[in-house]
């Protein structure tokens, strides 16, 4: 057989099979009247849909200018890849037909006790149903038809359903009638296995591209959801995917995107709950913070007496520049183990009850968020506890663990203290890497509605062993300024003009209102 003709035929087959699978994914993700107990599985289906789109985008099935490279990108695995896409379409088609059979068997008057709710095309929140990949797919649909070349395959794949006449023309009006929850769960497991196998067959140099696209899509899914219930439901769906991963470890793809999605969902959930409680505090109602968030906070709290017994301070770092926040080093005795740590302190002026409650809540929330698992490209320190001396010394301190392998002689130096010193100047590639890592950290923070209001060279630190340091291992600090309150009120520290240019524009030139840095030994 002519190799060129075979390549063209395989490419056309891939386009048609891919389009058919996308059509069926869209059918299930947009279905209405689905019981609430199935919502988690529908979200899992959307995740698998976006993973399919990520793969399609990476090999050129979405971006039309790349269509000429599809045959090359498919490589020697073209037949198996087309077989996998065909299998996915067959599974979704079978499940679609099963839903139609249930419709014919159920009485028309049957009602469900709990449903997501009747939704029509005008009332659905489209932002939560699509991603940038889905938008790109729809945008290029008409142009992509020209690259297919073969139309009979689509007819072969299109399966008529007796009781679902509007599937193609009006998919948002199709109603969910399936009663077999176990069958739906089994479908999701099969789809997850197939998408994993499809990703495995791509060559290594394309795998990183797939991971980047998938990570971006996952972040979009988090950004589109702001209510606590939505975040909880999506978190449940992700947790189930991780359980599937544990049961299929031999075929799981080499990436941590699912764990990343879980981590940023948890961060956004606790941040959203904290903001909700802040709103309640400002409304003037009674608020028992300890009771409200006891199930969310597991980071260790120390009072003044306890901290003095288990915390030993090292020699203070160089204080030549008093404007740079002091980060004293020390050793914390935690669970019988000596842990090398450093602390960021913050002083408070006298506060009214509402501001005091808000400060306490944000202190606990910040400590917990920095204590939780986070994406590996969010370069924040690990919080192992916080010291609450607000009642005695009007200050609080966040305790951070030093990097693995740190000794008592390891010091922390800010990027600002290193600027202008030739012996510390990184090469160009290291500077680019540093900029990327800081931008990546901010991207993840903003995904979770977590705003850092003090990004400047004084809040970027490095670990030093004498005069040696790793220029590509930054530590983003200064998180006590992290939160943007929902009201117009804000708490910030006094800054010199050279730092003021790095602040959130709405609070530049603002006088210190509620807090300041503690300068000197704690």
- What's the pLDDT score for residue 83? 76
Indicate whether 510 pLDDT > 60: no
Quick one: pLDDT at residue 165? 39
Number of domains in the chain: 2
Asked if residue 175 belongs to a domain, the reply is: yes
Which H or E run contains 314? none
Q: Does 184 lie in the same domain as 305?
A: no
Does the structure show a pLDDT above 90 at 428? no
User: What whole-number distance in Å separates Cα of residue 349 and Cα of residue 494?
Assistant: 13
Question: Which residue is associated with the tokens 């249930």?
Answer: 102
User: Do 404 and 494 fall into the same domain?
Assistant: yes
Per-residue model confidence (pLDDT) at position 222: 92
Inform me whether the pLDDT recorded for 39 exceeds 90: no
Range of the domain at 56: 3-224
Could you tell me if residue 472 is inside a domain?
yes
Residue 258 lies in a domain: no
Predicted local distance difference test score (pLDDT) of residue 74? 57
Could you tell me the two tokens for 319? Answer: 């204080």
Classify the C-alpha dihedral 214-215-221-224 as positive or negative.
negative
User: What percent of the chain has a predicted confidence (pLDDT) above 70?
Assistant: 63
Residue 45 located in a structural domain: yes
Residue 268 domain flag:
no
pLDDT for 1: 41
Task: Specify if 65 maps to a domain.
Answer: yes
pLDDT at 373: 92
pTM, entire model: 0.68
For 475-487, the pLDDT digits (tens) are 998 876 544 433 3
pLDDT tens for each residue of 337-366 = 888 999 988 877 766 777 878 888 888 999
pLDDT digits (tens, 9 = 90+) for 18-29: 777 777 777 766
Same domain, 95 and 192: yes
* Six token digits for residue 439: 């931008």
Same domain, 340 and 469: yes
What gap in Å lies between CA 217 and CA 232, rounded to an integer?
A: 18
pLDDT: which is higher, 253 or 303: 303
Cα-trace Rg, the chain: 27
Determine which helix (DSSP H) or strand (DSSP E) holds 339, and give its type and residue range. Answer: strand 337-348
What is the pLDDT of the chain when averaged over all its residues?
A: 72
Assess contact for 299 and 386: CB atoms under 8 A: yes
Range name among 112-116, 119-123, 171-175, 514-518 with the lowest pLDDT average: 514-518
Domain end: 194, 224, 254, which one?
A: 224
Same domain, 303 and 384: yes
Q: Is residue 270 part of a domain?
A: no
If DSSP states are collapsed to H, E and C, what string results for 387-399?
A: EEECCCCCEEEEE
Say yes or no: 349 and 424 in one domain: yes
pLDDT per residue as tens digits for the range 75-96: 545 666 677 778 888 888 877 7
443-453: per-residue pLDDT in tens?
Answer: 999 999 888 87
> Could you tell me the two tokens for 61?
């099935």
């Amino acid at each position: 057989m002519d190799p060129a003709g075979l390549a063209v035929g395989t490419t056309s087959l891939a386009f048609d099979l891919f389009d058919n699978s996308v059509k069926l994914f869209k059918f299930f993700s947009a279905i209405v009247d689905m019981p609430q107990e199935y919502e988690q599985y529908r979200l899992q289906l959307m995740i698998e849909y976006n993973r399919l789109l990520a793969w399609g985008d990476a090999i050129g099935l979405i971006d039309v200018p790349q269509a000429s490279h599809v045959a090359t990108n498919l490589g020697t695995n073209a037949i198996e890849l087309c077989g996998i896409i065909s299998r996915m379409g067959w599974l979704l088609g079978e499940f679609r037909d099963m839903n139609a059979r249930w419709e014919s068997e159920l009485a028309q008057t049957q009602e469900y006790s709990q449903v997501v709710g009747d939704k029509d095309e005008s009332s659905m929140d489209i932002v939560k149903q699509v991603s940038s990949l889905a938008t790109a797919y729809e945008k290029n649909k008409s142009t992509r038809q020209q690259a297919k070349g073969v139309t009979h395959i689509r007819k072969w794949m299109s399966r008529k359903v007796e009781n679902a006449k509007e599937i193609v023309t009006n998919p948002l009006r199709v109603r969910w009638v399936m009663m077999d929850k176990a069958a739906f769960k089994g479908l999701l497991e099969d789809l997850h296995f197939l998408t994993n196998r499809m990703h495995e067959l791509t060559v290594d140099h394309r795998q990183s591209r797939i991971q980047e696209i998938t990570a971006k899509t996952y972040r979009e899914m988090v950004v589109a959801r702001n209510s606590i219930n939505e975040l909880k439901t999506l978190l449940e769906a992700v947790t189930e995917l991780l359980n599937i991963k544990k049961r299929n470890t031999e075929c799981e793809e080499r990436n941590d995107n699912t764990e990343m999605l879980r981590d940023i969902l948890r961060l956004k959930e606790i941040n959203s709950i904290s903001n909700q409680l802040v709103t309640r505090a400002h409304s003037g109602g009674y608020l028992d913070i300890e009771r409200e968030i006891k199930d969310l906070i597991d980071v260790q709290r120390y009072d003044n007496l306890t901290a003095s017994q288990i915390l030993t301070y090292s020699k203070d770092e160089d204080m030549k520049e008093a404007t740079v926040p002091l980060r004293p080093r020390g050793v914390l005795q935690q669970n019988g183990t000596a842990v090398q740590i450093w602390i960021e302190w913050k002083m408070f002026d006298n506060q009214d009850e509402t501001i005091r409650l808000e400060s306490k809540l944000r202190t606990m929330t910040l400590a917990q968020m920095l204590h939780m698992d986070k994406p590996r490209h969010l370069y924040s320190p690990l919080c192992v506890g916080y010291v609450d001396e607000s009642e005695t010394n009007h200050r609080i301190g966040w305790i951070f663990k030093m990097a693995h392998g740190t000794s008592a002689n390891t010091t922390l130096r800010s990027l600002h203290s290193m600027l202008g010193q030739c012996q510390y100047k990184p090469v160009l590639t290291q500077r680019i890497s540093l900029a990327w890592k800081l931008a990546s950290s901010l991207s993840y923070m903003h995904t979770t509605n977590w705003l850092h209001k003090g990004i400047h060279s004084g809040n970027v630190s490095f670990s030093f062993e004498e005069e040696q340091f790793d220029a590509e291992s930054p530590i983003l600090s200064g998180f006590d300024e992290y939160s943007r309150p929902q009201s117009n009120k804000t708490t910030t520290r006094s800054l010199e003009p050279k730092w003021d240019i790095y602040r959130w524009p709405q609070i530049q030139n603002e006088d210190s209102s509620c807090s300041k840095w503690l300068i000197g030994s704690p």
